[in-house]
Amino acid sequence: MSESSEKVTCPKCQAVNFTTSAVCWQCGETLPAPAETPASEQPVPLQAPVYGANLPPAATPTYEPQSQPVYAAKPQNYLVWSILTTLFCCMPAGVVSIVYAAQVDSKYATGDLVGSQNASNTARTWAWVSFGVGLVATLSYLALMIIGVVSSGQFH
Ligand SMILES: [Zn+2]
């Protein structure tokens, strides 16, 4: 124990008492315990968190190269899909998809992972819209061609 902790000041009359005294020698007030706590208390041992202990380790995607960091994988930007659907399907919806596909990379570069994921979802949606519209348009075009061929054959 240090020297300063061997005396305690009475809260009532401010008289200085020894810590061995139970009551104040001047006014009889019950003295508080010394401020310094004894070192007999054992520190609580740190326990390892048990939640998630039974979970299997996170599976590493096998399709990703080992050189890529795994802490924040960039969302799929669907840029190839966007370009393909723009060229072969529906130009307007494909352009929208390309715009959002570009935002996937730019937002990921700025650390906006949520915005990057949202742009990825939007790019995928518009790529499918472009694909669907283009598919319908292509089928309609083929149908008109077939009808035209049949019609021209009939009137030959
Ligand atoms: Zn006192």
Tokens (6 digits) for 90: 């529906």
Indicate whether 60 belongs to any domain.
no
Q: Is residue 64 part of a domain?
A: no
For residue 8, the CA-to-ligand 1 centroid distance in Å is 10
Distance 24 CA to ligand 1 centre (A): 4
- At 4, the pLDDT band (50, 70, 90 cuts) reads low
Domain for residue 22, yes or no? yes
| Chain-centroid distance, C-alpha 33 | 50
**Domain membership flag for residue 55:** no
State pLDDT tens for residues 118-156.
999 988 888 888 888 888 888 888 899 888 887 776 655
Distance from the alpha carbon of residue 37 to the mean position of ligand 1, in angstroms: 22
Tell me the DSSP string of 107-151: HHHTT-HHHHHHHHHHHHHHHHHHHHHHHHHHHHHHHHHHHHHHH
Å from CA of 23 to ligand 1 middle: 8
Query: Given a cut of 80, is residue 88 above it in pLDDT?
Result: no
Q: Quick one: average pLDDT of 43-51?
A: 58
Helix, coil or strand: residue 55: coil
The pLDDT of residue 38 is 53
Which residues share a beta bridge with 23?
Answer: 30
What 3-state class would DSSP assign to 9?
A: strand
Ligand 1: distance of its center to the CA of 31 in Å? 8
**How would residue 1 be classed by pLDDT, with cut points 50, 70 and 90?**
low
- 47 pLDDT above the threshold of 60: no
pLDDT grade for 116, boundaries at 50, 70 and 90: very high
Claim to verify: residue 87 and residue 28 sit in the same structural domain: no
Total domains, the chain: 2
The DSSP symbol for 30 reads B
Q: How far is the CA of 9 from the centre of ligand 1 (A)?
A: 8
- Is the domain of 84 the same as that of 141? yes
Mean pLDDT of 96-102: 88
Confirm whether 43 is domain-assigned.
no
The pLDDT of residue 2 is 55
Cα distance between residue 150 and residue 131, in whole Å:
28
Residue 83 and residue 141 share a domain: yes
Instruction: Say what the pLDDT of residue 7 is.
Output: 87
Same domain for 87 and 148: yes
- Domain assignment present for 106: yes
CA of 97 to the centre of ligand 1 (A): 82
Rounded-to-integer distance, Cα 46 and Cα 36, Å: 24
* Boundaries of domain holding 119: 79-154
